[in-house]
Chain A
Amino acid sequence: MIIFCEDCGEKNDLDPSDLASGRADFKCIRCGYGNSFPVKMPEKGSAAGGFLEKILSFSEIIGAFFFHRTNGVVAWRMPGRLTLDDLGYLGAGLADSYEAGVSCDSGIRAMTTVISDKHLRVHRIGEYGYLVVISASGSLPDSVSEYIAALEQGAENG
């Protein structure tokens, strides 16, 4: 499972069994910082958690999360500096902006916002869900785009 260093943001790939206690205790592979913080594990077999793991395996992807209108942030793999409240605020703001765009133009299929040097890409998944992918560049790897397209298609088909 990918866990981000709280100090430098590096992705560290930890064995899920190392997180069984509900805490991530590890030294960062890049900066050596001794991380120790609570982690909320996704439900076993969670499709959302599995999807995030898959796209986080690409080095271009910095983080990603699913936001739901009613349930808030339902699954996430993000650098440790952001709290769940931060993600909820971000998810709600991006979802509102996306919907404001669609209400003006029904041909809109995705939204990318550039904040500092980060690209935050938003896709609507189903009626109330949103996938937010954060990357260092504007173009996603082809495989990630294909995964997202398949996810959107699956949601449309119910």
Chain B
Amino acid sequence: MDDPVSVAGRLKGISGFVLVDCRGRVKGHNLGAPGSLSKLAFSCGRRLAAIGKENFRYACFSRENGEDILIFPVGNDYLGVVKLKGIKNSEVASAVLEAFQATAG
């Protein structure tokens, strides 16, 4: 099974990612300063996972600059990605879900 950080590093259509564990600790990233995104991924990921339980697939935060942020549950961790402007959220979401599903399988 591939390391989730390596899988995230190969994702297309994003400008950066951060993977945090269930306590908010950063497990890997490719950003200059992952603090803000890691905090968002952890605080929102765990709240939304509490609501959706195992049916929580992902969340998307729309931003004024078009570089939306998507949060995914990955096992017991949370992945936050920053989408490149001009790419559909649904395309990035499908790519991430597929990548991690393939890894799990």
Give chain A's interface residues, CB within 8 Å of chain B.
Answer: 89-90, 93-94, 96-97, 100-101, 104-105, 107-116, 138-139
Contact = CB atoms under 8 A, between A and B. Distances in A.
Contact of A93 (B36, B50, B90, B93): B50
Interface string B33-53: 000110110011001101110
B47 A97 contact: yes
A100 B47 contact: yes
Given A105-B36, A105-B69, A100 B58 contact: no
Nearest to A116: B55
Interface in B36-82: 36-37, 39-40, 43-44, 47-48, 50-52, 55-65, 69
Given A104-B39, A115-B57, A109 B64 contact: yes
Given A97-B44, A105-B69, A112-B59, 15 more contacts: A89-B51, A93-B48, A94-B51, A97-B51, A97-B59, A101-B69, A108-B61, A109-B64, A111-B62, A113-B60, A114-B59, A115-B56, A116-B52, A138-B90, A139-B90
Contacts of A104: 36-37, 39-40, 43
A115 B52 contact: yes
Interface of B, helix, strand, loop or mixed by DSSP: helix
Nearest to B41: A104
Contacts of B62: 108-112
A107 B56 CA distance: 24
B64 A115 contact: no
A110 B62 CA distance: 5
Contacts of B44: 97, 100-101, 111
A56 to B, nearest CB: 22
Interface in B12-39: 36-37, 39
